[in-house]
Amino acid sequence: MATDSVKTEVGSYFISNYPPFSQWSEDYIPDLQQALASEPRPGVPLGLYLHVPFCRKRCKFCYFRVYTDKNGSEVETYVSALVDEIELVSKQAAMGGRPFRFVYFGGGTPSFLSPKQLQRLEDRLRKSISWDQAEEVTFECEPGTLSETKVKTLRDMGVTRLSLGIESFSDKILEENGRAHLSKEVYKAWEWIEKAQFPNVNIDLIAGMVGETWDTWRENLVKTLELSPECVTIYQMELPFNTVYSKDILGNKIETPVADWPTKRAWVSYAFDELAKAGYSQSSAYTMIKDPTKISFSYRDNLFGGADLLATGVASFGHISGVHYQNKTEWADYTGDLLEKKQLPLKRAYRPTPEQMLIRETILLLKRGYLDVDYFQTKFGVNIVEKWRPIWDEYVETGLATVDGNRIELTRDGLLRADGLLPPFFEEQHQGVRYT
């Protein structure tokens, strides 16, 4: 996406990896299998992602692999497959006896599972793995799926960080955008969460949901500050190809219902200002944290810095010993007989070149808002200022970044359009290709 785009068009904007996912293929599966069967690279931390793909409803802006029509028996089928996969993963040489530094339960809606299902899942997982030494265990929650018993169960499981998908405090906007919860469920859940005393609770907001106005956005910030979470993450609404909104726009040739980029950036900038007034500090292009001495982001920082991530669950993405990969993306393929045959449900992969690994780490770490030039010189033997001098010069000239000795830093304007600043670093063959 160009940095000067105005209208919110259909297409991916948020960048989470490199090279683009559209370039991954089955041709690299042998590379992946070799990586899994080999001892890990020295000193590389290990993480685990578990995908729980169930939701009460599908949000109109959602582009993840989720299911809203599965009964209890099908949920159990999936959980059993997930446990079987993790048992297989735990036996791979790539584990190397390493403890998990970070664990992430994502979705979908992991909190869709009942307390009993969560307890059974934990009991079965712990026969193969442990996360007791992890710096961070994150669990994504939809407010309406929580109960006091479930929140206590999560705390007992060893979850250290809850991420609560509030998105908006306006019931009208929540309903318009297809969210399953309403604001009253947020406040019920918050009482239970505070009582359980999680070390870190994050609130997700989305700037620019359909129906958003300046008044509703200001109210979002008032109510967020009343809750006073440890962390606030703010995304700008986008329209990837496979969302309900995108299909409607493309199929019926209607105008985009999402606010334009300058408006969304203005809303996020306002939010940053209000949070800063309340004592929050900038942690990335999306996050503000209350206490930098207390809150760290093990999942984000390790993953951006090239850590190994074992991905489990349907359609999940991982990275092991320099090879990217994704699991089977269809229910039948994932829950079928592959796991019964003791075969991992792998769909596609990609082995980046050293140049691509440098690009990946540069663009992902830039999303934090700054880069340490010496870090890249030490790790890759490359001076990233000189390598991409024309790009940095342009960003400095246009007020998007500063370059001062060893530090490259995004300005406020740069932070607000961080993902739009990343494609110029892509190699020529990846310029303009579809991202997903």
Residues 73 and 335: beta-carbon distance below 8 Å: no
Domains and CATH numbers, the chain: 21-302 (3.80.30.20), 354-419 (1.10.10.920)
Residues 111 and 145: beta-carbon distance below 8 Å: yes
At 4 the pLDDT is 53
User: Three-state DSSP class for 236?
Assistant: strand
At 416 the pLDDT is 97
43 CB-contact burial (10 Å; exposed 0-12 / middle 13-18 / buried 19+): exposed
The owner of tokens 């406040």 is 187
CA distance 434 to 436: 6
From 65, 73, 122, select the one nearest 313 (Cα to Cα): 65
With vertex at residue 149, the alpha carbon angle to CA 146 and CA 151, rounded to the nearest 5 degrees, is 55
At 295 the pLDDT is 87
The owner of tokens 């690299």 is 28
Compute mean pLDDT per 10 residues along the chain, 436 residues long, and list them: 67 88 96 97 96 93 89 95 96 95 95 95 94 96 97 97 97 95 97 96 96 97 98 93 84 84 96 98 97 91 96 97 97 95 97 98 98 98 98 98 97 96 96 86
- Please give the torsion angle defined by the CA atoms of residues 86, 52, 366 and 100, in that order, rounded to the nearest 10 degrees: -30
Dihedrals φ, ψ of 327, to 5°? -75, 170
Q: Whole-structure pTM over 0.85, yes or no?
A: yes
Task: Name the E strands within 252-298.
Answer: 281-282, 287-289
